[in-house]
Structure 1
């Protein structure tokens, strides 16, 4: 974890509203605003919700700045998963799964999926980052 971590907290289902408020506040302190802040909030909510639904009901979230990036890391102690489960294209309209992480991939500037929580072999570690300013196209 980078030394400039500004938020690190555990969460469960009942904590999601409070977690969104915390993330919004800390993201603003780190310099995110407008659509970039919204992208981080939606992404954090989706990944935290996945941890709640698929990995035992909760996890840990850390928010930090890394140069021009604001990054969020969500870890859990569930079975973990491989990045290959995230579709490259939008899931079928009738699909019940795949939308959350696909959306995170679309909204963020980077998305990494790892395994292990606190050095244990189980669990997923999902890290995504949003640039403070969008690069010129």
Structure 2
């Protein structure tokens, strides 16, 4: 989907596919006008990539990334139709020491200013937010 702007909000969306490098490239292009410092941009792109990877690994359905740039923040919504992610508190604490899995949501919460996990009949959404400088 092409980037659009309405009421001062820029928006784009694209499907989650096996090539997450393309998703990361498109995300960085969308973020460029936001003028994040390098570390914040890298953290945000990594968090979005991790959420998209979780869709590929766990949902078993197609997913989509929706990016919104508002006046004071950038929001990424990573959506899937499976709806398997139902725990709004997932990732609030780190996984046990030595665990091989379970770091993704915890890292997203560490790297982003806000993380919300939403669930409805339409599926699951991980909403990641970074405030603008």
Question: Would the aligned equivalents of 1:77 and 1:123 in 2 still touch at CA under 8 Å?
Answer: yes
Question: Would the aligned equivalents of 2:51 and 2:104 in 1 still touch at CA under 8 Å?
Answer: yes
- Equivalent residue for 2:119? 115
Give aligned pairs, total.
126
* Partner Cα distance (1:31, 1:64) in 2: 15
| 1:79 Cα deviation from its structure 2 partner | 3.1
Equivalent of 1:83, from 84, 88, 92? 88
* Partner Cα distance (2:40, 2:90) in 1: 25
TM-score of the aligned structures, taking structure 1 as reference length: 0.83
TM-score of the aligned structures, taking structure 2 as reference length: 0.85
**Unaligned 5+ runs, structure 1:** none
**Unaligned 5+ runs, structure 2:** none
Question: Would the aligned equivalents of 2:62 and 2:80 in 1 still touch at CA under 8 Å?
Answer: yes
Q: Does 1:92 align with 2:96?
A: yes
* Partner Cα distance (1:109, 1:85) in 2: 16
- Equivalent residue for 1:60? 64
| 1:122 Cα deviation from its structure 2 partner | 4.3
| Displacement over 4 Å in runs of 4+ | none
